[in-house]
Structure 1
Amino acid sequence: MSVFNALTTAVSGINAQSTAFTNLSNNIANSQTVGYKANTTSFQNFVAGSLIGSTASADISDSVSAVTVQHVDQQGTPTSSSSSLSAAISGNGMFVVSKATGVGNTGTTQFQDRDYFTRNGEFSQNNLGYLVNTSGYYLNGYMVDPSTGQLGTTLSAINVSNVTYRQPQTSTISLTATVGTMPADTSKYTAADAQTYTTAPTTVYDANATAHHVALTWNQSTTNPLVWTVSAYDADGTGAIDQAANTYNVTFNSNGTLASVTDSTGASVGSTTSGSAVKLPITATYGSNSTQTMDLSLGTIGGTSGTIMASSTGTASKSAVGSLTLDATTSTLTQGSAQIGTSTGSNQSYMTSPVTVSGVPVSMLWSQTSASPPTWNVSAIDSSTGAALSATSSITFNADGTANAPPTSIAATINGTAYTVNLPTMTNAASPLLTPSSTLGTDTTALTSDAVSAGSYEAFSFSATARLRRNLATALRSLSARSPSPTLPMSTD
């Protein structure tokens, strides 16, 4: 038995050394394999002995075995890469990947029902849009719901072939306009000299990438020509913007530059230091009580660009949207003639700027219901809530922009009082409400937003910050929620 045991011990030593050489060979062969971690060999001795209570034979000789120790979870040495899809994990963690099993009947790639883990971050996009590493494994991640923009909770193979553009939520609207002119003699300024200015609506997007329209009205003080009241309103007529809560008093310097801003309570908004940015928070409620705050940028204190006043001999920006005029003695409102849209467009809308009647901001809302022939509905609304103040009248227009037998007025009830709203003339071909051209004249005012209405998929890249899975989701969301940004390549590991 002793000779046999000695031979067994010798053989175990040879096997252990063979395992060690195998590991060494594998390390050399994979020295250039991305994500590979060198294996080490650990030797274990088996010691025989007469343990207490043991029935093991005391004549079994010692032996040795080799255990391969893998270090796949350890940090490797990052190397640079020119590919924006190469990624390295800093610290603990692994890429979650899947193994493809073939192509199904529908032409889509099928995967095994299990997850694998790797440090090989040298990914590339295959011809089907999947991200595959050099070992042939498909990268998994949490996808973003295209309708809500919310991150999912189920891992799946990432495919970027069908990424579509998603408008980002608007955060800033900016105004560059001359809201009025200085009086030639301030000592002779009267209430009758007070000016008004209304911007054209600008498009903004909510968190669900739904388009809305915001506009501004400016009203000069009847006592101080340097003080104006600016109000933001929902130009879609849904009452998403509370005008009272989004009204500010803007004071100009005698040279027409911005001096200071206060809110409706008289509290200062921002700094009065020269060069300070003038940003007014505009709050809107879109959807299911989803509040969205946007900064209204007017320029800088003392700046000559942005929002200014012109000298008495200068030229002010022309209002792009008409308003109602009120005759309180006859309880009559009148809408002036203004082009509300085009005769060749569809799904158009137009809303007059609000005028306060008995404490209610009143606007006329025009909404197109048919493109052929051009048919519009018109009604009076409370612009702060979107509530109807009158019945709706339907008007059909001709190709030249005139209307067929249009109503001349509609009846409205405002705060319990009956009013007559005179509509503009719609039968005069010389000044039609609809222009035959496909677009209205270019607006000379400049109320703009940081919204990007369209974009196209160009590339996919990993973010250089946060956790890997979050980075993947953020990168996908970036493609579906804003215009393409510069890639942030990471090194391979």
Structure 2
Amino acid sequence: MPSFQALYNSLSGLFAFSKSLDTISNNVANLNTPGFQGSESFYENVMDEDGVRVDGSGINTAQGQMQQTGNATDVAIKGTGLFVLRDTSTGEMYYTRAGQFTFNSDGYLVDTVQGYRVQGLDADGKLVDINISNMKSLPAEATSLVKVSGNLLAQDSTASISSIKIYDAEGTAHTYTAQLTKNNGTATGSWQVSVLDGSGTSVGSGEIRFDGTGAIQSGYNTVDLSLTLAGQSQDVTLSFGAPGTTNGTTQFSGLPSSLTATPDDGHGVIGVSSLSFDESGVLNFTYTDQEKKTGPQLALATFDDNTSLQRLNGRLYQSPPNQDPHIGAANKGLFGTISGSTLEMSNVDLSQELGDMIVIQRGYQASSRVMTVSDQMLQQLYNATRGG
């Protein structure tokens, strides 16, 4: 009977509008959740003229607003892509737009909420846990070359180098000095170089020579030292410049004697002073000596239909049914770029949600009114059959 059908149709409307209101309330509740993507409800006919139902909800993949945080491990995606997270207890992979990450005590980059490990790409493009344990500091390096620069006054008979710093294999710095004595009895422009340790004991010596133009001569431009530091032998070369040039040490008249020795290599243990992600998702390290190195690269994922992702909570998704992820790097192919020290905020439009809520409220009221009228008609029919 038509009145019964109207009753069922209005009841289906009440259920559908109620479920849509659940979706809107969840969107509004996550208005300030980083990386949250709102949901949209879809309606369909149950059968021809037999009411309505919510066929499901889809993910709104519109870009959320970017907000700078100043935290180097916060990252956001501009464009297509999802960060990939791994639950180490189950091996399950999850996906998110919320780039709130931090390094744990073991050096792994993890999600700050669940503690899942953020995935990067290895040399073959395969997913791997991002770990920086071997990049938190640069190991000590022994000095093998020291470059000497400056000038020796041609009229002087003696000169000195006040400090020659040499690092051993454990990163400890040892300071030496050098005495230079003109050796004209051997050859014009010849100087004898004697390197001394802190107690004034000679640890090595050699000869350097300059030509008539004041440039260092080939074969006489270095002094080699054989030292024993940190319990092991260490060969160090003092280079006074490139032969035939004025790059390095010179012997000119009119310029006072002044020599500086600078280690060309070798250092103690060096810590990280700063790190940052570039637009390709590569982690860049700057160390306290201003040396720069590149580290792991973030992995991104996308699917053939990102709107059908299976939401686990406000931040995490699982793969859509029967879809495998496309894995790659930011700023390449399908994927957007990475913005470091930034979070993508929720893409929920509060004005839109409030407008939709009013529409749902009116629809709910209308369905409720239809149900009331249908009930009254059935009551009248019932009374008529009783002769009332």
| Greater percentage in helix | 2
If asked which structure has higher relative contact order (CA below 8 Å, sep 6+), I would say 2
Question: When the two structures are superposed, what TM-score results if normalisation uses the length of structure 2?
Answer: 0.49
Higher CA-based Rg: 2
Question: When the two structures are superposed, what TM-score results if normalisation uses the length of structure 1?
Answer: 0.40
